[in-house]
Structure 1
Amino acid sequence: MYPNNAGGNDQKSPPPPMMQMQMPMAPYPPAGAVPEQWTTGLCGCFEDSSNCFITCCCPCITFGQNAEIIDRGATSCGANGLIYYLLAQVGVVCLYTCSYRAKLRGLHSLQEDPCADCLVHWCCIHCALCQEYRELKNRGFDPSIGWVANAQKMNLGAATMPPMTQGMGR
């Protein structure tokens, strides 16, 4: 229950607005910008052997973690993982996952390499998910800890600085 407002009537004051954590992300590249190279190759799965193992056994986990970071926390790892699992049962999961590869490329101005996003996910979904996971890690994110923890980690420097005061006179 919220405390009564200062006027003394029985109306309840609204709860304070929730603070939203915003993390600086690379803006969409300007039109005509030269696309960057991926930081790792499509077949570099063993560069992160633990993620490679998880992706081979349960790719819905890696996809859910990647999607949560790419969507900046707007969707949860669990929800995306469930959607992945259900679409995989009918054989069309690449139609959903390739859209996240395109979003990741758009956020970081990456080349559509080695071929179209949907084709990469159709032919090599496990390799594509591992590459996207490594790309996020190489750009300072840790998909395994989720969006909120990444946002807190990125904002840590600003949160530890003491507030600036004005007009401190004697």
Structure 2
Amino acid sequence: MYPPKHETYHYQPIAPPAIGVPVYPASMESVVPQAWSSGLCDCGNDCGTCCSTCLCPCITFGRIAEIVDQGTTSCATSGAIYGLLMYLTGCQWIYSCAYRSKLRAQYSLVEDPCNDCIVHWCCQACALSQEYRELQNRGFDMSLGWQGNIARQPAVAMTAPPVQMGMMQ
């Protein structure tokens, strides 16, 4: 039985998925900021990432940047720029805080515990480790890069809408 004609239906917008490639809703005003999947100082829960970030942060940053930039910048390029800034000026945190802001915007994450630049300036290794864990927790295999992660996602079948045949006048 069909509903009466006077009834109207209100469709609720679909929230972006929690994992994988970010999907943006039609209106960003309706997005409620989410908490990070791990804390800034949760480095002890992931000793491998923590140690590699402390020893060679340019690799961790390069992997984060490639995913956040959705493959437009390679891990090697971003890591090299980060490394040069680190060794020549010591101001690599300015570059990396921009990527934290991009990551937060893509996944609607809260700016916590303080401003992105302050987080990167005060504790660069913790900030990079948290961002790395966030992307991992959202389903990215950081060692594969952007193209590798896209290739491993299931293909979406593209089908044409059914053609309606009718009489032509």
TM-score (norm 1): 0.76
Aligned position for 1:35: 33
Aligned position for 1:4: none
Q: Which amino acid aligns with 2:91?
A: V
With 51-60 and 29-38 compared, the bigger mean Cα shift is at 29-38
Count of residue correspondences:
141
Note closer, same or farther for the CA distance 1:153–1:117 as it changes in structure 2 (3 Å cut).
same
Deviation string 1:23-46 (CA, Å, 9 cap, x unpaired) is 842316712532100000000112
Give the Cα–Cα distance (whole angstroms) in 2 for the partners of residues 142 and 56 of structure 1.
20
State the percentage of identical aligned residues. 50
Aligned position for 2:56: 58
Aligned position for 1:93: 92
Give the Cα–Cα distance (whole angstroms) in 2 for the partners of residues 139 and 24 of structure 1.
9
Aligned position for 2:136: 137
Q: What is the DSSP-based 3-state SS (H/G/I as helix, E as strand, rest coil) of the residue aligned with 1:69?
A: helix
Q: Once superposed, which parts of structure 1, at least 4 consecutive aligned residues long, lie more than 4 Å away?
A: none
Deviation string 1:40-98 (CA, Å, 9 cap, x unpaired) is 00001122221111101100000000000000000000001111111112111111000
RMSD of aligned Cα (Å): 2.3
Q: What is the DSSP-based 3-state SS (H/G/I as helix, E as strand, rest coil) of the residue aligned with 2:29?
A: coil
Aligned position for 1:113: 112
TM-score (norm 2): 0.76
Q: Which amino acid aligns with 2:104?
A: R
Gaps of 5+ in 1: 1-22
Aligned position for 1:8: none
Gaps of 5+ in 2: 1-19, 163-169
